[in-house]
């Protein structure tokens, strides 16, 4: 009755007071539209299997730089170039190895940024006559229809993509350009540890590197639960190993550590909140926390870490996971410079 009276006067009572919730129908409709849109958007950024689990597409350019003179991509200084996004953990692997090996002079690099509307990578200044990374992929391979991902190892001489798979690029940087490296004797993938490194790589890729994406991009509760369980079981296991080992495979840093590090660096910043990996922060693990500081403090590594890009790109560009686009204020990561106490 009261409601009717107010309606007749052109203004419902509840609205006057500004306290009303939207009618149920609007909530229902809003939820339906948003959920449908969300699934559509997620299926574009995150291909899934039937149980809603995220499946990462495989990289398509898989050539190698080698030291053989007749190689299509012979080892050389100044010929190859890296395209990276500073927020990307896969691209970050290549920057860490480039820094540890002292290859900054031999291999140039440029940074791409995500386009605010499409999410694709764009150049800050045009490169090779291209404005976007997708254009560069087209230049190298006209008609290419796969994803235009970073990192890209580019051959400036033949205008070709040598390789766009971080796991392979870091193997090349470790062993094929020693002639031009400032730290040629540093071997991050020594013969005697290969089996152990590969074992960790497989486990860490599935459950940690890609595991955080399996949590964040899960499109069903079951898929999320499983990814989350596997992620934290593996982190616990690593924490135990790091109680006695300084690094994953013993006393020296290897490619397995590099691959773990770039995920750990982003964990408390982005994965903990945005990807719902929130059972525990890395900072709060006794051994993993100190190990992260140890890795961060290796010569040249901190310079490859870009907190603001990580926050900005993850929270700003993964629209379906953060529709407001609001970038969080924290965390403060200055503790990464505190003594790690590991020997």
Ligand X SMILES: N[C@@H](CCC(=O)N[C@@H](CS)C(=O)NCC(=O)O)C(=O)O
**Per-residue binder mask for ligand X (CB under 6 A), 151-170, x = binder:** x------------xxxx---
- Residue 150 near ligand X by CB under 6 A: yes
102 phi, psi to nearest 5 deg: 70, 50
Catalytic residue among 73, 80, 83, 88: 88
Q: At what angle do helices 255-266 and 166-175 cross, to 10 degrees?
A: 130
Considering beta carbons, is residue 163 or 176 the nearer one to ligand X? 163
Close Cβ partners of 87 (under 8 Å, ≥ 6 residues apart) = 114, 266, 306, 309, 310, 312, 313, 314
- Residue 224 near ligand X by CB under 6 A: no
Smallest Cα–Cα separation from 151: which of 105, 83, 104, 203?
83
Close Cβ partners of 31 (under 8 Å, ≥ 6 residues apart) = none
- Residue 59 near ligand X by CB under 6 A: yes
Considering beta carbons, is residue 297 or 319 the nearer one to ligand X? 319
- Residue 148 near ligand X by CB under 6 A: yes
Q: CA–CA distance from 299 to each of 249, 314, 326 (Å)?
A: 20, 26, 33
- Residue 269 near ligand X by CB under 6 A: no
Catalytic residue among 80, 213, 247, 272: 213
Considering beta carbons, is residue 166 or 201 the nearer one to ligand X? 166
Instruction: Give me the least distance between CB of 64 and ligand X, in Å please.
Output: 15
Residue showing tokens 């071997």: 187
Considering beta carbons, is residue 100 or 152 the nearer one to ligand X? 152
- Based on the residue annotation, tell me whether 215 is a catalytic residue of this protein: no
- Residue 210 near ligand X by CB under 6 A: no
- Based on the residue annotation, tell me whether 130 is a catalytic residue of this protein: no
> Other CB atoms closer than 10 Å to residue 114's CB: what's the count?
21
> Other CB atoms closer than 10 Å to residue 210's CB: what's the count?
20
- Residue 239 near ligand X by CB under 6 A: no
> Other CB atoms closer than 10 Å to residue 222's CB: what's the count?
11
Residues 72-101 that bind ligand X (CB under 6 A): 85, 88, 90
Residue ranges binding ligand X (CB under 6 A)? 59, 85, 88, 90, 147-151, 164-167
**Residues forming the active site:** 88, 213
């Amino acid at each position: 009755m009261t409601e009717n009276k107010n309606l007749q006067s052109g203004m419902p009572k509840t609205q006057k007071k500004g306290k009303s919730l939207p009618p149920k129908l609007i909530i229902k409709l809003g939820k339906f539209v948003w959920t449908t849109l969300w699934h559509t958007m997620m299926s574009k950024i995150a291909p899934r299997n039937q149980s809603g689990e995220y499946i990462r597409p495989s990289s398509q350019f898989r050539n190698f730089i080698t030291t053989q003179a007749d190689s299509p991509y012979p080892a050389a200084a100044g010929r190859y170039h890296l395209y990276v996004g500073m927020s990307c953990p896969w691209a970050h692997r290549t920057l860490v190895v480039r820094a540890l090996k002292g290859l900054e002079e031999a291999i140039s690099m440029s940074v791409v940024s995500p386009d605010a509307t499409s999410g694709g990578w764009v150049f800050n200044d045009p490169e090779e006559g291209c404005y976007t990374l997708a254009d560069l992929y087209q230049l190298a391979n006209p008609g290419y229809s796969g994803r235009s991902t970073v990192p890209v190892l580019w051959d400036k001489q033949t205008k070709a993509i040598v390789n766009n798979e971080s796991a392979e690029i870091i193997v090349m940087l470790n062993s094929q350009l020693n002639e031009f490296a400032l730290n040629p004797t540093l071997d991050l993938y020594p013969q005697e540890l290969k089996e152990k490194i590969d074992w960790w790589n497989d486990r860490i890729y599935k459950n940690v590197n890609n595991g955080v994406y399996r949590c964040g991009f899960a499109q069903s509760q079951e898929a999320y639960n499983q990814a989350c369980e596997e992620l934290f079981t593996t982190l616990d296991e690593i924490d135990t190993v790091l109680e006695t080992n300084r690094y994953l495979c013993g006393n020296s840093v290897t490619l397995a550590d590099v691959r773990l590090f770039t995920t750990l660096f982003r964990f408390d910043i982005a994965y903990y909140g945005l990807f719902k990996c929130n059972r525990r922060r890395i900072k709060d693990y006794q051994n993993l926390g100190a190990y992260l500081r140890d890795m961060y403090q290796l010569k040249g590594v901190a310079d490859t870490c870009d907190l603001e890009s990580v926050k900005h790109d993850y929270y700003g560009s993964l629209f379906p996971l953060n529709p407001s686009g609001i970038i969080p204020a924290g965390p403060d990561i200055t503790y990464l410079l505190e003594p790690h106490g590991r020997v």
